[in-house]
A and B are shown apart, each in its own frame.
Chain A
Amino acid sequence: MATVGIIDYGMGNLHSISKALYYVSSGESIEISADPKVLASKDRLILPGVGAIGYCMSELARLGLDDMIHRYIETRPLMGICLGIEMLMAHSEESGGVDCLGAFAGNTVAFARPDAQPDGRRRKIPHMGWNQIRQTRDHQLWQNIHNDSWFYFVHSYYVVPENESEILGKTTYGPEFGSVVIRPNVFAVQFHPEKSQSPGLQMLANFLAWNGQAN
């Protein structure tokens, strides 16, 4: 039986992602764990996250999970969700600058807080709610998901990968940013697939079937 581990470093609500994975699974066992040994034994990992990235990164290090993740992604697939995508970049400008896991070259930057428009209207931050994803190329992770499908986002920062080829999907909120990124064994999304109804569930199912190849 295939096994899936959800990385628990004490931040965030792992129940939603666990329930969604269980819903789409075809017999995989799903376990939430903070133990690097337990997680390292799984066939696939999920790196979720919400909150402040500085705190999340220091908790990963304290629990020995950062080294485990580096070794893990040499051989097996991992999916980052929401703050997970930001943690997989090299660096985040949040809270004065935080070094991150570096699975992707590039930075995480804040949405600019624009002045209110002349009519008083504001662009709200966080970017919260349903927005669309433009698929920048074909991939098995897009299987059965229409181009421009809607997904549920909640974030105040976004990733800027150095390698355009690592972007699999883009979303516009003020700037157009990479909302889905990929490299061998690492797939990461800025939105919450576990809260994005059918397209989100399909994407989780696609991850469970992914062979880890980026092309």
Chain B
Amino acid sequence: MSLAKRIIPCLDIDKGRVVKGVKFLDVKQAGDPVEVARRYDRQGADELVFLDITASHEDRGTLMEIVEQVAGEVFIPLTVGGGVRSLADVRRLLSAGADKVSINTAAINNPDFIGEAAARYGSQCIVTALDAKRVSKADEPPRWEIFTHGGRRETGIEVIGWAQKLAGLGAGEILLTSMDKDGTQSGFDVELTRAVSDTVDIPVIASGGVGDLSDLYDGLADGRADAVLAASIFHFGTYTIQEAKNFLAERGLVVRDLVSR
């Protein structure tokens, strides 16, 4: 018996639909977040992450409805992020049925927001999302900094120290995305993942770059992540969650199987 490594599909939501395309469903249901959540739950996803990439505030209400509907029938942890800026935003998402809220840019502008949210709602529901980019040259010791706006805007904040700071303020978990790797399908930045995971006591979710199942294994085994987040390989139906778990289990990692439920 021991703690299982978690596999977490990520759904990017824009105007109430899953974007990045979900090819394993028939066309009619392809973008329906509730249907996608149901499928992943049945396949054995350990948690689900919804990221609201809607630009306008008017469409935010749609996300609340989606979270509410999913929370009424999918009983695994749900994390919701995207544009979370105030305690009121956190409260609204938790009330809709989210179990954890992911905070990104707001923590950069005001790290104490992480502390305030954790003090009010508990560390267990505060995920801090770090978007990291390697800034060191090839012959230098590795160094990563936090970037915003999809990796376009630098902040000058060094990632390892920042992760320690936010963990100290009360974040319950770190969602660590490599902006160098995101969307490349060439594997996680394993060195980054390991550097962060070995420096904080709280769990780290590796994100950005998964192209095949061995990437998941590398992030968990070599990167020492506690969980892995992926979108495309599951959305495009390249692999099911169950196939991913079988692959990891065959290589000696502990995963939650559905046999004993």
**Chain A residues in the interface with B (C-beta under 8 A):** 11-13, 15-16, 19-20, 22-23, 50-51, 113, 116, 120-122, 124-132, 134, 146-150, 152, 154, 171-173, 192, 194-201
B124 CB-CB contact with A under 8 Å: yes
Which among B4, B97, B203 is the interface contact of A124 at CB below 8 angstroms?
Answer: B203
How many interface contacts (CB-CB < 8 Å) are there between A and B?
113
Majority secondary structure of chain A interface residues (helix, strand, loop or mixed): mixed
Q: Which residue of B lies closest to A117 (CB)?
A: B198
| 8 pairs, A vs B, C-beta closer than 8 Å | A15-B71, A15-B94, A16-B99, A20-B75, A50-B125, A116-B198, A128-B124, A129-B3
- Give the size category of B's interface with A: 35 or more
Q: Is B17 an interface residue (CB 8 A)?
A: no
B contacts, CB < 8 Å to A: 1-4, 6, 41, 46, 71-73, 75-77, 94-97, 99, 121-125, 172-173, 197-198, 200-203, 224, 226-227, 256-257, 260-261
Q: Mostly helix, strand, loop or mixed at chain B's interface?
A: loop
Q: Are B97 and A19 in contact (CB-based, < 8 A)?
A: yes
Residue of A nearest to B74 (CB): A197
- Do A13 and B260 contact each other (CB < 8 Å), given the known contacts A19-B72, A116-B198? no
CB pair B173 A128 closer than 8 Å: yes
B77 A195 Cβ-Cβ under 8 A: yes
A74 to chain B, nearest CB (A): 31
Partner of B6, one of A13, A15, A20, A129: A129
Find the residue from B72, B75, B95, B257 having the highest chain A CB count within 10 A. B75
